Structure 1
Amino acid sequence: MERIDLLVTDIGLLVTPPSGIVPRYGAEMSVIHEIEHAAIAIRGERIALFGTESDVRSQLTGIEIGETVSAKGKLVAPGFVDPHTHLVHGGSRENELSLKRSGVPYLEILAQGGGILSTVRATRAASEQQLLEKARGSLNIMLLNGVTTIEAKSGYGLSLEDELKQLRVAKQLNSRHPVDLVSTFMGGHAVPTEYTGRADEYVELLVSRMLPEVASQGLAKFCDVFCEAGVFSIPQSRRILQEGKRYGLIPKIHADEIVSLGGAELAGEIGAISAEHLLAASDQGLSSLAAGGVVPVLLPGTSFNLGLKQHARAREMIDTFRLPVALATDYNPGSCPTESIQLIMMLASLNLRMTPEEILTACTINAAAAIGLASEIGSIELGKQADITILDAPSLAYLPYHFGINHTFGVIKKGRVAVWNGQLASGE
């Protein structure tokens, strides 16, 4: 064995989904491998060895070790993956809080020019540097909460130049920040004010000008659309996603968040990698997801923040439809302004009735699968990227149990310490 660059010792309990490069389905989500008194050896950016500390040390006899760090008896898990965020945006929308609390529906706020359209105005007015600094601050918070990879959607520009501006910011952050970003083009987030009453014309602009330019500049891996009553219809959503596929962008879809429109069925039909929200998805829609191998990405922070009585049917998705459920923050300035994946874990336990083991799976290997990275991240196993989160918790169940705080002690990203003792270890 060659030199080991970093050895993590004194791990009280290591928890990880089993080895594999695909998501965990249904009851498989409850299977978690645990190793007490563990250690992890890292070479470069990859995991070279892991197991009980005694076994690891015995295999490293005579091997040069560059650096050794102690996990101080804490819980160690794969780095968390957040597969649905709206990271790059201008402004904030705390002014809408009283409207929401007085019962004004989300779609009505949007129809009045608020909601997404309010953020569009702020994002268009912001410079690229202003957007980068704001997003960097949120990305730092995510890293401090144990997140090592995120998906970042555009969708607050809704014009060619402003969508490109958002995607350029995400690309810059991916090259400069410890957290890895994968980008999603979401020009189909809303119909901009200048196209009010002319949604089909906006869709034409999106597919004829925006998609080709995004693809030619290599600024996105995925294409997403808000398929919802009063936003984009099934035919409009199908056209956007099919055209995206033609340009090499993998389809995702905001589906059946508020109305059972048929977005889940569309996701299965077109072979989307993920369908997201799904609060109002029908049984037929969930069957379509299962048949199409689509990962359902659930966003319990959004239904919680909007004060909805209805939540995604996670138990049925797992137990009846045998779906590989993933969890995400949906970080955005309107319906879910939080960067805390650990808050999402608690809400998944409380409102989605998911077990701690299912929650870990949903925030690691299944979340990685939702962004096409399960072969690289999402579990602690030989050859995978050394993305590791160290948590000040005695057990996995402690994370959703003791809520409202950040349990992260340390984060190792690509084999380098990025957070230690709850503090950023780099200049970020």
Structure 2
Amino acid sequence: MEELLFGNCSLADVDVSGSLRFVQDGLIHIQNGRIAFAGPRGERGDLPRRLELLDLGSRLVTPGLVDCHTHLIYAGDRLGDFLAERDPVALDQHRFQSGGILATVAATNSAPRESLVTLARRRLDQMADHGVTSVEIKSGYGLSLEGERRLLAIARELSGYRDIEVVTSFLGAHTVPAAFADAPSDYIAFLVEEVMPILAGEGLIDMVDCFIDPEGFSPAVIVPYLMRAKELGLPLRAHVDQFGAVGGGELATRFGARSIDHLEHLSQAAIVAARSAGTVAVLLPFASLHKRFPTNPPVTELRAQGVVMAVATDLNPGTSPTSSLLLAAYLAVTLYGLRPVEAFAGVTRHGAQALGLSDRGSLEHGSRADLVAWEVAHPYELVTSVFDQRPQRLGSSRRGTH
């Protein structure tokens, strides 16, 4: 039996009610990659005498961070899109091309596989260096059977790199590819009839995602896609109501979506439905900041209805070119008005909940020992400042599967 015993540390996580648990003189006992005990030192009277007590130097131990929404595998950049909105003169002078999601699709599909893997590992390095131990990676920059298969297969191979576990989301319904420009329903039919069954059968999909929005797919067009996900037994997620209100939140929760994400124009009816369905609201403040949205997600209403809120980076080249999850949490506090405990929960317990990962995100008995130790005195320091340090990783995350 592999065992580790850590002391001279404080501990922090969030319980199932959303309340902070903070222990200033803590002890952690790990057995075979799982938490056997994490709590006040004085409550563990039967310390295993055969184990050396590993001194953490008064660090704060928390669950590993969970980034529950990323588009991490891509090539190219979208500097042209950025300059088109902010500096058209520079755009013209330097001949940058703009083109939205389809520009990234073209760059990604033309990039060698080895290049995509190298770029993805570089981004995972940044995440691991800042406490992330689980990450969701979406496809959606392939928009064909082979393109989506390649991205999902790379994501599968990346799981375990830097001891980070990867969860995959099929995002074929990200946007309409050029070949189907005038026929979005035909594109959805292609995904439903050909792509989804094949990739699900190959074991490449953990969840199915889609974009229900004025800039994405209408509710009427996307319904067969949602139905197919349900038929295949795949949990559903959805980008909804980001650029405008189209009823995406209501539709996704009607299909039992595990999470709804973005939410800048989410309706009150969708908020009530999310509570009833147990759907997690995933907040992506970098995208709001990057796009300079005048409307924020309805945090006050979500809180009043008791809807669980997670926070993620939305790492992508177009609207959120960053891998810093703690900075996303900071922006959720400063831009959206999240309470510090909500932001901390959002990148730990509730981020895991958005991915259906009940075995991590907390310090509870039996949880995976995906733990990190920080040189801070209080957990709120992690989410209320522009925080940049490399925490110490404890234990091993490669225990069991999701």
Question: What TM bracket, shorter-length normalisation?
Answer: over 0.9
Number of the residue aligned with 2:118: 133
Number of the residue aligned with 1:372: 356
Query: What pairs with 1:209-220 in structure 2 (closer than 5 Å)?
Result: 209-220=194-205
Query: What pairs with 1:191-206 in structure 2 (closer than 5 Å)?
Result: 191-206=176-191
Superposed displacement of residue 385, structure 1: 0.3
| Structure 1 residue 60 corresponds to structure 2 residue 44 | no
Structure 2: runs of 5+ lacking an equivalent: 89-96
Superposed displacement of residue 392, structure 1: 1.7
Superposed displacement of residue 260, structure 1: 0.6
Query: What pairs with 1:327-366 in structure 2 (closer than 5 Å)?
Result: 327-366=311-350
Decide whether the 8 Å contact of 1:267 with 1:288 is kept in 2: no
The match for 1:182 among 150, 167, 177 is: 167
String of CA shifts for 1:354-396, please: whole Å, max 9, x gaps.
Answer: 111111111111111111102x101001111001121221112
Letter in 1 for 2:365: L
- Going from structure 1 to structure 2, the CA distance change for 1:382 and 1:216 (only over 3 Å counts) comes to same
Number of the residue aligned with 1:420: none
String of CA shifts for 1:267-292, please: whole Å, max 9, x gaps.
Answer: 12111111111110011111121122
CA RMSD of aligned residues (A): 1.8
Letter in 2 for 1:402: S
Query: What pairs with 1:143-292 in structure 2 (closer than 5 Å)?
Result: 143-292=128-277
Q: Structure 1 residues 406-415 or 202-211, which shifts more?
A: 406-415
| Structure 1 residue 392 corresponds to structure 2 residue 375 | yes
Number of the residue aligned with 1:80: 65
Decide whether the 8 Å contact of 2:128 with 2:162 is kept in 1: no
- Going from structure 1 to structure 2, the CA distance change for 1:187 and 1:415 (only over 3 Å counts) comes to closer
SS of the residue 2:379 aligns to? coil
Decide whether the 8 Å contact of 2:260 with 2:280 is kept in 1: yes
SS of the residue 2:159 aligns to? helix
1:114, 1:230 → 2: CA distance?
A: 13
Decide whether the 8 Å contact of 1:84 with 1:331 is kept in 2: yes
1:260, 1:398 → 2: CA distance?
A: 35
- Going from structure 1 to structure 2, the CA distance change for 1:186 and 1:399 (only over 3 Å counts) comes to same
| Structure 1 residue 46 corresponds to structure 2 residue 37 | no
SS of the residue 1:268 aligns to? helix
Superposed displacement of residue 176, structure 1: 4.2
Letter in 1 for 2:155: A
Superposed displacement of residue 69, structure 1: 3.4
1:275, 1:361 → 2: CA distance?
A: 17
2:84, 2:201 → 1: CA distance?
A: 41
Superposed displacement of residue 52, structure 1: 2.3
Number of the residue aligned with 1:324: 308
| Structure 1 residue 411 corresponds to structure 2 residue 399 | no
Letter in 2 for 1:40: I
Superposed displacement of residue 53, structure 1: 2.9
Decide whether the 8 Å contact of 1:42 with 1:415 is kept in 2: no
The match for 2:22 among 24, 30, 34 is: 34
Number of the residue aligned with 2:91: none
2:177, 2:395 → 1: CA distance?
A: 38
The match for 2:14 among 3, 14, 17 is: 17
* Residue identity (%): 32
Using the size of structure 1 for normalisation, the TM-score is: 0.87
Letter in 1 for 2:346: A
String of CA shifts for 1:274-314, please: whole Å, max 9, x gaps.
Answer: 11111100111111211222111111111011122221121
Q: Which has the higher contact order (CA 8 A, sep 6+)?
A: 1
Structure 1: runs of 5+ lacking an equivalent: 19-23, 104-111, 417-428
Superposed displacement of residue 102, structure 1: 5.5
Decide whether the 8 Å contact of 1:348 with 1:354 is kept in 2: yes
2:362, 2:205 → 1: CA distance?
A: 25
SS of the residue 1:48 aligns to? strand
